[in-house]
Structure 1
Amino acid sequence: MQPLGTGDSLRIGPYRLFGVLGQGGMGKVYFGQDSSGRRAAVKVLRPELAHDQSLAQRFVREAQMAQSVTSAGVARVLGTHTDSGRPWIATEFLAGPTLDDAIRNHGPLDEPTLRAMASSLARTLAEIHAAGLIHRDLKPANIVLTSAGPRIIDFGIARPEHGLTLTTTGQVPVTPGFGAPEQVLGQRVGPAADMFSLGAVLFYAITGAQAFTGTHVAAVQYEVVHGEPSLNRVPPLLSPLIGPCLAKEPAHRPTPDQLAAVLTAARGMERVWRLGPLAADIKERERTIHHLTTVVAASGSGGMSRRRLLSALAAGSAVLAAGVGATAWWVGRQGNSGPYSLPPAADTPAADPTAATAEEPKPLWGPVQLLDKTTGGLVPVRDVVLAIGVPEGGLAAHDVVDGKRRWHASGPVAAAGIVTLSDALVAAVDQKGDVVTFVAASGEARWSVAVDAKYVLAADDSALYVITTNDRLRSISRSDGSIFWTVRPRVLLDAETRPRSVAGGGRLLIATAKGRVMAVDTVDGHEVWNIDDQSPMGRAGLAPVLHKDTILINGATLTVRNLTDGAERWAKTDTVDGKVQASGPPLVQDDIAYCARGSYILAFDVTDGTEVWRSPRGSYMDSSVAVQSDAVSVISPGADGGEGWEIHAMSRTADKHVWSRPLPTDAGSYWVHGDGNRFFVRAGAEVVALPVFE
């Protein structure tokens, strides 16, 4: 990334600009962030071109095309303003390498990664075509690899299938070697042109070379129209998949749905984006952009000075890619010792492999009394287990390895709850209603702010959300403790217990004790959408879970909805003898959603709700679920209708019950958490740490 120049604005629309991601003949692309902490790639038309009617029309159409595609496989549009003197489009910023960068830095993809990428891209093209559009410029530079999978970017020359071209006569419409023959010849194109481009992209990704080459552009385009790719360079099992995409005749190419059906992802294929050098590269980019924006925000509401920002950018140490087809850019790491700076999150200790067993396990530590019998809660965070509501009051942290207490703070109130900030800080509420924060690993007191809080709800990258003592909802800046906004939503009035909540993607989701779920816009606190009567028979226990651009909500149904507008993607429900079987708190791991319902633990593909696993029959009701390695753990009443309670572990791969362990009777509260290849089990006041099996 290049520093802002003397002629660059410091702000475009709601976005504060940090630097220049790239520039071309039409305009510049900036990296920006709005007041809610949402990061964006902001594409701005050059001032001298804003009055060129044809270019302005193309820019407007690009915004319209991109906005019409709602697929999770594209960089979504966050905002546009095309009727001003300087039009701009803000799209989601993606922290990951473009495909061409990934191949250049790590070499060609292996076959499992290629299949996972191809399956995802095919599904995204199907959704683009379903919206009536053709991308027309699919190439490695327009595909960003993220921890959630590949995303297609840049709708600069996309158009409706029935529309006219936006390029002028004589211009090369696409990148040589990736455009279809009919595009090279200037003929009318349809969705099949994108499939040719996809074939060329897959050939490049698996071989590291283009399917069509030449000494100059005209030679490359001649090969596209008349030549044949060397498919002997492609692995034998992939050649029958890639070859048909490169057919000269559009009618001979598969459709996106046909290719996706052949490439149906094997179980666990999504892990390719979380393991190996490419995954490590993606994670490093995510950490770097988070560090940059956190440090800049932490410098105060006035922001980092231009000179300091330029110094930070010049000292770059990690490459990131913008989600608009721009070039890679560099950002720097700068330290900050202020109270609002974010310390590095501690590492999670590795599990002892000798402790793993398929027999009844010996505890790693415990049972020990960490909590009050009925109040408070337990949250594992990296190298510690945080316990709010300890016997002597307050908040304590225990080492995950041996259970020994590491630190204790007497001020926090158990009923107010705790929230972790990027796995580095923990926020709580003291007796005065102040929000207080501590370093999770050490207990070092950090910042505090008087906000008259009753409950601390959730946090995202920019704000912490609380309910005040007079039942207002309040957003507090993580960078300086200032109050962003305070609203009075009617559903939070007289809140008697702390609602379970989660924040991210511009939304704060709150599940009330009366079975209502509402989504709040984190920019200003207004309610965007809601669900009533989600809890069956008036029971509470709703626990929303954020996953990518969706929210999972349990209760009368297990429902997955769009985070932005609440539209339902899929829902699962069950009744026995006319009674609704409630779904317990959901857990998402590797794009699989787990929940307990009645006699089974069920696992669904988050994308479409397909059931992928069902546990052996038991009596699990709506327990919490923990998953670590191959083990799925859940709590249930004792066997044969006994009065006691048990913790169970089941194997996903062997599809069998492996072991059970009795828990204290009438403990009051039961819960199981999975983290760091360990299960942390609460039975009232007692907590025990158990190993997992592979």
Structure 2
Amino acid sequence: MKPLGTGDPLRLGPYRLLGVLGEGGMGKVYVGQDAVGTVAAVKVLRPELTDEANLARRFVREAQAAAAVTGKGVARVLGTDTEGGRPWIATEFLAGPTLDEAVEAYGPFDEPAVRALAASLAHTLADIHATGLIHRDLKPPNIVLTSSGPRVIDFGIARPEHGLTLTTTGQVPVTPGYGAPEQVLGHRVAAPADVFSLGAVLVHAASGRRAFDGSHIAALQYKVVHDEPDLTGVPDTLRPLIAPLLAKDPAVRPTPAQIAAAFAPPRGAERAWRRGPVSQAIKERESGVHELTTMLDGGVAPGQVSRRRLLTGLAAGGVVLTAGGGAAAAWWPRSPESPTKKTDLFAFPPAVTTPAAHVLNPDNGDMIVGGSPKELWAVHVLAEDTPAPLPVRDVIVFGARGGGIAAHNVVDGKRRWAARDIKATGRYLSLSDRLIAAVDSKGTLRTFVPSTGERRWTADVQAHQLLAADDEAVYLVTKDHRLRAVGRSDAKIRWTTPPLDTPFRKATPPGVVAPGRLVLGTEDGNVLAVDTATGRHAWDLRGQSDTFVRPACYGGTVYLDGKSMTARRATDGKELWTVRRRALAGALEKKKPPFITFGPVTATADALYATNQGYVDDESSLPNKWKPGDGSEAFQLHGSSNIATPVVPQGNGLWMIEGDPWYTVNVVSAKDGSPVWEYKVGKADRQWLVADGNRVFAMNDDSLYALPVF
């Protein structure tokens, strides 16, 4: 990695730039780090090219394409700006070798590893194609091997499925030897083109050779269109599986789903990159990223850096720096004789990857017993007054029976650590998935590393309950009914409000943070929004509910439940739309409140989910999907839900938990709301659902069940 030059920016959006990873004909790629310690690869279009319409459109298209794909097999987009003077794309920084680097350094993969690679990439292609996109440039340099599996990067020429392959004189629109025949010929391209590329990738992984090779590009492309692939070195058992992917006719190539099924790896093969030399290379690079950002961020004194430089490759997630694809950087270990560095309590611990659970295939009856799923694990040790469980990376945190909080492993439910001095009713928060914030019995704000329970910074702030957190501060209510903001970078109090006015005295967590606003509900149905920078009153809404209001937020819009479901502009509380309670036939005769009330809202980019309850006949709770643009109803979910709990989208389903008299977890299809299955839980007074990493966690009084996702 090179230091920043005189012409390089110091900051792009929220990212402070630390160095230059590499550069190519279109732009540069920097290592960047935001205020909470997240490391990103930030790709920037060259200033002199921003006026080139075609290149600018391609850059914007890349940003849109990469952001559209959210599967675990791609480099996640952290942020973009395609409207400013210097367009940029920030993606997560992937620490691992590219596939071509791994094959060159350690030789071809064995059969189980090839099977695991094929199945994983096939699932990723399915995710990409599900968004209507075609990657169009799948090749070994665009596949990064990480500790969580292979990740596909670089959506620079990805286009919608109906798009034609665009060329200009003298340009080849594909990587020679990996692009499909229809791409080489400039024909209309669809999903099978990526399948062909996958076949060529697997040949390279299995043999260390290219499926098509030639002395020059024209000869190589001729072979792609007219000759059979060279499968020399590919194990005999894999040849009949790979060959169909390389068929000249797109119509006869298998689909990604068929590929994943055909290559189903033996048990444990998906951990191929967690052992052996590839695993060691990944671990070194992960350590290198941490060392690199720590030193460049001033965490290590100059005298502690040895002159000896150990070079390792750091793959920049989601970007290709040169024609070859990979990026190289250097990191410098401290000398053995250096004094031990004191832990920086405010430095973010390294990120821990959330272990993703296996996704159910209902068609195979996978983990289904009598029409219901079998839980992954269950524990029965929750405190009777615990807040909602909180999944954070590889643990789930809850109030523990006997006092304090406990963190249990999301994989098997075993206890990882506990903190007996913490008051669970004071709530706990995730700080950017890197720290857990909680309150002890004395009102001290304390933070913990989620995976280990290691204690970090503390703040004596007379906290009663934690409300919410953003990149800058933790927001809480004090024992004397004041709102207070505590800085995350120094544990100092940023601001404190006077005691809250009577209508807002019962402000209750959780709150939500929208851009520039902290929005809170109260136990008696009022809503208060304050400025996150100063704590000053921004707007309020009174009488929104007869009971507790639980605000939700997406972007700059706040959604409120209660007597109505309403969307409010976060900055000033302006009403955008409202779905009001409706009179119900027969309500007056039965002398019951003639209205439907709304439960907590779950807000996503393209949908809202909320349960509404009618106090007529069976007093049923009816969950629905709503459109965020105008609040119109999309469809009803064919299940029932506890009015006090939110609908949880996860995987291909929408999850709900129902109390008296059925006590079940209900799952319906996210596409049309049709029922999928239900899971019976015991009778309980307190229920909640949370989800993460292909798991849904159902709280049922003192029990916590980890359920698989389909």
> Secondary structure of 2:88's partner?
strand
TM-score normalised according to structure 2 size: 0.61
Name 1:19's counterpart in structure 2.
19
Task: Encode CA deviations 1:407-442: one digit per residue, 9 max, x unaligned.
Answer: 754xx6554223366898653346786633467899
> Secondary structure of 1:4's partner?
coil
Please say if residues 294 and 341 of structure 1, whose CA atoms lie closer than 8 Å, have aligned partners that are also in contact: no
Q: Quote the sequence identity (%).
A: 36
Residue type matched to 1:80 in 2?
D
2:465 to 455, 459, 463: 455
Please say if residues 94 and 314 of structure 2, whose CA atoms lie closer than 8 Å, have aligned partners that are also in contact: no
Structure 2's unaligned 5+ residue stretches are 335-340, 355-378, 524-547, 566-594, 612-620
1:340 to 346, 349, 357: 346
Name 1:688's counterpart in structure 2.
none
Name 2:639's counterpart in structure 1.
574
Task: Encode CA deviations 1:464-523: one digit per residue, 9 max, x unaligned.
Answer: 5323459898775533336799999x9x983736434799999999998745441265xx
1:72 to 55, 70, 84: 70
Distance 2:505 2:623 in 1: 24
Summarize the Cα distance change of 1:583–1:434 in structure 2 as closer, same or farther, 3 Å threshold.
closer
Q: CA deviation at 1:67?
A: 1.6
Name 2:141's counterpart in structure 1.
141
Residue type matched to 1:260 in 2?
P
Name 1:530's counterpart in structure 2.
559
Task: Encode CA deviations 1:66-108: one digit per residue, 9 max, x unaligned.
Answer: 3256222454472224663xx3321322425444345556743
Number of equivalences: 587
Summarize the Cα distance change of 1:287–1:157 in structure 2 as closer, same or farther, 3 Å threshold.
closer
Alignment of 1:21-40 (within 5 A): 21-35=21-35, 39-40=39-40
Distance 1:174 1:246 in 2: 16
Name 2:214's counterpart in structure 1.
214
Name 2:125's counterpart in structure 1.
121
Summarize the Cα distance change of 1:234–1:21 in structure 2 as closer, same or farther, 3 Å threshold.
same
Distance 1:497 1:27 in 2: 49
Task: Encode CA deviations 1:194-237: one digit per residue, 9 max, x unaligned.
Answer: 44334323443455432212344444223212210145866788
> Secondary structure of 1:110's partner?
helix
Residue type matched to 1:418 in 2?
Y
Task: Encode CA deviations 1:641-661: one digit per residue, 9 max, x unaligned.
Answer: xxxxxxxxxxxxxxxxxxxxx
> Secondary structure of 2:131's partner?
helix
Task: Encode CA deviations 1:360-413: one digit per residue, 9 max, x unaligned.
Answer: xxxxxx999x97x6477988999998858977xxx577999999998754xx65
Distance 2:281 2:622 in 1: 35
Alignment of 1:511-590 (within 5 A): 514=548, 516-519=550-553, 527-530=556-559, 532=561, 572-575=637-640
Please say if residues 475 and 486 of structure 1, whose CA atoms lie closer than 8 Å, have aligned partners that are also in contact: yes
Residue type matched to 2:154 in 1?
D
Summarize the Cα distance change of 1:30–1:249 in structure 2 as closer, same or farther, 3 Å threshold.
same
Residue type matched to 1:57 in 2?
N
Aligned: 1:59 with 2:56:
yes
Residue type matched to 1:672 in 2?
S
Summarize the Cα distance change of 1:89–1:378 in structure 2 as closer, same or farther, 3 Å threshold.
closer
Distance 1:183 1:93 in 2: 29
Task: Encode CA deviations 1:530-559: one digit per residue, 9 max, x unaligned.
Answer: 36359998697x69799xx99997866789
Task: Encode CA deviations 1:100-146: one digit per residue, 9 max, x unaligned.
Answer: 345556743332441232132134135243xxxx5432222223456
Please say if residues 376 and 390 of structure 1, whose CA atoms lie closer than 8 Å, have aligned partners that are also in contact: no
Distance 2:165 2:305 in 1: 40
Please say if residues 59 and 156 of structure 1, whose CA atoms lie closer than 8 Å, have aligned partners that are also in contact: no
Please say if residues 638 and 668 of structure 2, whose CA atoms lie closer than 8 Å, have aligned partners that are also in contact: no
Q: CA deviation at 1:601?
A: 4.0
Distance 1:442 1:264 in 2: 35
Residue type matched to 1:89 in 2?
W
Task: Encode CA deviations 1:31-61: one digit per residue, 9 max, x unaligned.
Answer: 21344655432222345x447x54x631343
Summarize the Cα distance change of 1:253–1:385 in structure 2 as closer, same or farther, 3 Å threshold.
closer
Residue type matched to 2:30 in 1?
Y
Q: CA deviation at 1:328?
A: 3.8
Summarize the Cα distance change of 1:45–1:634 in structure 2 as closer, same or farther, 3 Å threshold.
closer
Residue type matched to 2:664 in 1?
Y
Please say if residues 553 and 559 of structure 2, whose CA atoms lie closer than 8 Å, have aligned partners that are also in contact: yes
Please say if residues 40 and 91 of structure 2, whose CA atoms lie closer than 8 Å, have aligned partners that are also in contact: yes
Name 1:154's counterpart in structure 2.
154
Task: Encode CA deviations 1:540-584: one digit per residue, 9 max, x unaligned.
Answer: 7x69799xx999978667899999999999985414xxxx55596
Q: CA deviation at 1:329?
A: 3.9
> Secondary structure of 1:91's partner?
strand
Name 1:656's counterpart in structure 2.
none
Distance 1:347 1:44 in 2: 27
TM-score normalised according to structure 1 size: 0.62
